Structure 1
Amino acid sequence: MRTRLSLSDYVSGILARDRLVLSRAITLVESRLESDQALARQVLEQLLPHTGKSVRVGITGVPGVGKSTFIEAFGKQLTRQGKRLAVLAVDPTSQRSGGSLLGDKTRMETLSVDPLAYIRPSPAGNSLGGVAHRTRETMLLCEAAGFDVILVETVGVGQSETLVHGMVDFFLLLMLAGAGDELQGMKRGIMELADALAITKADGDNLAAAKRAKAEYQNALHLFPPTGTGWFPPVMTCSAQTGDGIEAVWNIIQEHQTLTTRNGQRDRRRQAQNIEWLHSYIRQQLEMHFYNQPGMRERLASVEEQVRTGTLLPIQAAEILFRPA
C-alpha cells in the first residue's frame, strides 16, 4: 500500500494546488480505516479556513438524460472563462460485487485533459441517492485547492435526491423531452428541490419536443408553493452537441447566487446543510459503533437465522440485540 503523507504535506500540497496530493487526500477521507479517518479529520480542520468560496452545483437527472455529456460541455464553458472546475462524478456500485466502473474520465474525454478541470470519480457504495460516502469532505478539499466551481453529479434520480440537494448551493435537474408523459413520470418531490430545470438534447428533430416540454414544466412549476427564497426556478432548453443554452445555464446559476447572497439565503442554506451533516455523521457513527461491539457479529448471525426461519419477529430480534450482552 502507498504510504500516507504527513499532516503538513497534505495541507501544504493542497494549498499549493498539487493535484496528486489532492487525489491522495480524497482517498484518505474515503478510507474506512480508523487511523486514516483520524488523519483526514486533522487535514480538514487545518484546511477549513480556506474553504467555502466556491459555487457548489448539484446535477441530477434520469439515466439517459446525458449528464456526463452536459457536464463536459458546461465544464468547457466555465474553463474558457478561466474558472477552475472540480467534477465529483459518483459512479454506481454493484450491490453484488461491490465494484464500480469509475468511467467518468473516459466519458468526459475533452474535459479530463483540460488543465483547469479536475474530475474525481468516486464509488457510491451503499450510499442512498448515488452520493459517495464522503462527498462533503471531498468538496471541502477541492475548495481548499482553489477550485471556483464544484459540480456533483449523481447516478440518477429515484432514491434520495435530498442528499445532493443538502450539500450544494444550486440544484440543477436535467430532463428529457419526447420520452412519454414527462409530468406524470417525474416525481413532484424532485421538481420541488430543483433551482432550475434544463431540457437536454434540444437540437435537430428533438427541438420542437423540447420546447413543448419546457412549456409544460413551466406550467407545472407555477402550481408549486413559493420556496420563500425569492427565487422562482426557471426552465431552459440546451444542447451539449450544438452548445445552445449552455452559457445560459451558467448565467442562471450566477443570478441565483447573486440573489441568495444578497438576501442571506445562501448563508442560511449552508448553515442548515452543516447541521444536517452533523446529524448524518452521528447516525453513521452510531451504526458503526453498534455493529462493531464485541461479539455482535455472532449475536447478529444467531438472531438473523431465527428471523429467517420465522421463529422470531424482526422487532423482537432488534430488541434482543439492543440489550447488553
Structure 2
Amino acid sequence: MTNGSITDVPGIRVGQAQRRGDGWLTGVTVVLPPPGTIGSVDVRGGGPGTHETDALDPTTLVPTVDAVVLTGGSAYGLAAAGGVQRWCEENGRGFPVPGGVVPIVPAAAIFDLGRGGDFGARPDAAMGYEAALDAAGSADGAAVDCGNSGAGTGAALGAGRYKGGLGTASLRLAGENSTVVVGALAVVNAAGVPWHPGAVPPSNGQGLNTTLVVVATNAALTTAEARRTATAAHAGMARALNPVHTLADGDTIFTLATGAAALVPPPQLPAAALIELQSAAAEAVRLAVLDGVAAAEAVTTPAGSWPAYPAKSA
C-alpha cells in the first residue's frame, strides 16, 4: 500500500533497530521530532506497558517531547528509552535543569517475548541508542522501512496466528489548511484482525497484544489539543481492527505537533479546522494499521511457520 509516510511531516524522522535469528525477533522504533515539538498521549488498552506517559498530560509542567520510543520486549523493552534519552542528552535535547537537561522520552511496548525462541532476547538501552542514531542520521522525508522492521519485527496479528508489522501513512488537509500534513506510524501487534466482511476475530482473551501509534502533524497545537487529537485518532484503530482496546492489550496513541503551520479556522465555526485535522488523524491511523498488516512478511520461528495475513487488501 502507498499512502504516504509519517516522514511527510517536515522535520519528523524515524529510526529503527532490530535483531533476528539466534533466538531474537524484536526491535525498536524511534520517532524523532524537531526541538520544541508539543506532545500528548491517549492510552486505551487495559494492559499497557508504558514509560513517561503521565508527563504528557496537559496539566503537567513540560509540554514538549524529545523523542517517542516504540519497542518490543513488553515491560522489559522499555529499557530502550534509556538509550534514546542518552542520545538526547549527548545532543543537548531535553528540559533545561541546573547542570544539564532532562530529555522527555515517552515509550510504549508490545508483547513479543519469546517469539524468536529466547524469552530473554529483548530490546535494551543499547538497541534504543542504535535506533536513535538511525533516526538522527536519516534525511528529512526519508522513507520508513515497514513490515518486519523496528518494533514491528516480532509483531503478531489475530491472537498470534499471523505476522504483524509496522506501517505508515499520511494525509494533507484541504483548502486554506492545505499546508498541514498529518502522518501516522503504527506497530500492529493486535489480538484482532483487519475489519472487513467475513473477517472472523479470534476468541476473546487469546494472545497478548497491543497496537502502538504515533500521529504527527506540522500544525500548531496546544498540549490539550494534541491530547484530544490522540483520543480522536483511536477511531481509526477501531475502524481497522476488531477487536481493539481490550483488557489484555496496551493500545496507545501518541500525538506530536511541530507547530510549523498555523491552522486557519473558518470564522463561522472556529473549531472546524481542528475537527478536520482530528478526522484526518483517525484516517491516517486506519491506513497506517492496514499498511503494517500488508507489509508484514511470513517468517519462520522455532515454533514453526508464521504466515502473513491473507487478506492484504482488507
Global fold match (TM > 0.5): no
TM-score range, shorter chain: under 0.3
Q: Give 1 or 2 for the bigger CA radius of gyration.
A: 1
Structure with more relative contact order (C-alpha pairs < 8 Å, separation 6 or more)? 2
Of Structure 1 and Structure 2, the greater strand share is in 2
TM-score normalized with structure 1 length: 0.27
TM-score normalized with structure 2 length: 0.27
